[in-house]
Chain A
């Protein structure tokens, strides 16, 4: 494990400048800008259908932008050649909303194909890393299972293991805890946070799950009707007075105590 660093100011990893995206007459995102620093965790909140998944896909170049620019370490994603884009993407993990496991391969092969392709690690070492990644998401015993034999939540966790197995610099999580019971959801939130504190992984976490948002966020943005209506610390949401979110938060009496607790424990390890 690399040394732990306490980072407050972050070197910029991703810059998103004034991006817009429409599907026909459906104007999904309108002039969105944001930045992510190295080792920083940004949560993205917003109602279903507001364009959160689309935002993540635009950031990794899975969909063409209508306007604006996305830069990874200063390089424009849209202008990158296929080869450059692949180089960039090796540093990015992506958890899809449905897990998106390759269903012609076992869970272990889903992880192995990525390690095999992008590293020169010998087989035993790959195995160790695969088992370690599955352990982190609580699926060690599913190594040889086919995806069709997994539950929805297990698929998502296997997808999560696949997105972290290469130890990327940036991980994009599309609703990592949706559909999971609160205990498993809590352990996933813990995993996201420990990846950040121990490996300085930067993350963008799309979520509806406020406890998760409160646990993992350095910063939060809120999307509404295609616009970014909030960008700041998660604690500030309650005072920002937007939408019903403030009231919802007050009602839920959420705070950051859990986060402090996890970080404290992580440092003891």
Chain B
């Protein structure tokens, strides 16, 4: 038990160390030639456009469910009129950025981990290296940047769809008109609710990309290792997103003085 926990802790620390060095390498390499623009566009499409369906479903359901859940409580306090405002603030500040990032982490980090992992174990990354094709630029930099570009865009898209979900429920359950819903959302949310939520997903995107790439790029132990890379990529990136979110919330409160 003791041995187990100690080796787990050591493994974890080793992983964090490796991940930090890998991130440093990313920052050193990202601004240096060759810039693989074509591959970046392809990867951004892969991460962004291919997540549209999944993100849409999750976002609409979040908005709808949150509205349904809050109605009884809000009614008890006679605050029914504040439902759109409450839902909008929760969605924009927290739910949409964090949940969407974790959903994308599940899809994208696992995909990157498995893809780069199998390229590693079948020596394709070595082959790129000896052919002087700069695999770090070609594979890692493009994927990390793609996640950093795609996640904020997906979050804006999810913000919108979650509000649509909330409106549908409000419309069905309380007969609220579109205009009234729009006005009540617009009068209660401001820039400080919306922008920090979107900006922090740039960092979450970085986490998804860098963890996925780190796990895949350093995959070892054959096919079994590839599976492990994919799983670890999801677990580690989801955990880091949650930790980063705590910091982000602290910072947001500090800078925007939301009270």
Contacts and interface: CB of A to CB of B under 8 A. Distances in A.
A85 B129 CA distance: 10
A194 B240 CA distance: 56
A90 interface: yes
Q: Which 5 A-B residue pairings sit nearest by Cβ, starting from the closest?
A: A100-B127, A86-B132, A100-B123, A94-B130, A89-B132
A252 interface: no
A103 interface: yes
B126 interface: yes
Contacts of A57: 126
Contact of B129 (A62, A90, A102): A62
B124 interface: yes
Contacts of B172: none
Interface string A114-127: 10011000000000
A229 interface: no
A173 interface: no
A138 interface: no
Contacts, number: 48
B27 to A, nearest CB: 15
A60 interface: yes
Contacts of A102: 119, 124, 127-128
Contact of B130 (A62, A97, A98, A113): A62
Nearest to A62: B126
Interface string B102-123: 0000000000000000010011
Interface in A56-107: 57, 60, 62, 85-87, 89-90, 92, 94, 96-98, 100-103
B134 interface: yes
Contact of A89 (B34, B122, B124, B131): B131
A86 B32 CA distance: 14
B49 interface: no
Given A62-B129, A96-B123, A101-B124, 15 more contacts: A62-B126, A86-B134, A87-B132, A89-B129, A90-B132, A94-B130, A94-B131, A96-B127, A98-B123, A100-B122, A100-B123, A100-B127, A114-B131, A117-B34, A118-B132
B133 interface: yes
A113 B138 CA distance: 11
Contacts of A162: 131
24 contacts: A60-B130, A62-B126, A62-B130, A85-B132, A86-B134, A89-B129, A89-B130, A90-B132, A94-B127, A94-B130, A94-B131, A96-B123, A96-B127, A98-B122, A100-B122, A100-B126, A100-B127, A101-B124, A101-B127, A102-B128, A103-B119, A103-B124, A114-B131, A159-B127
Nearest to B135: A102
A124 B259 CA distance: 66
A159 B122 CA distance: 13
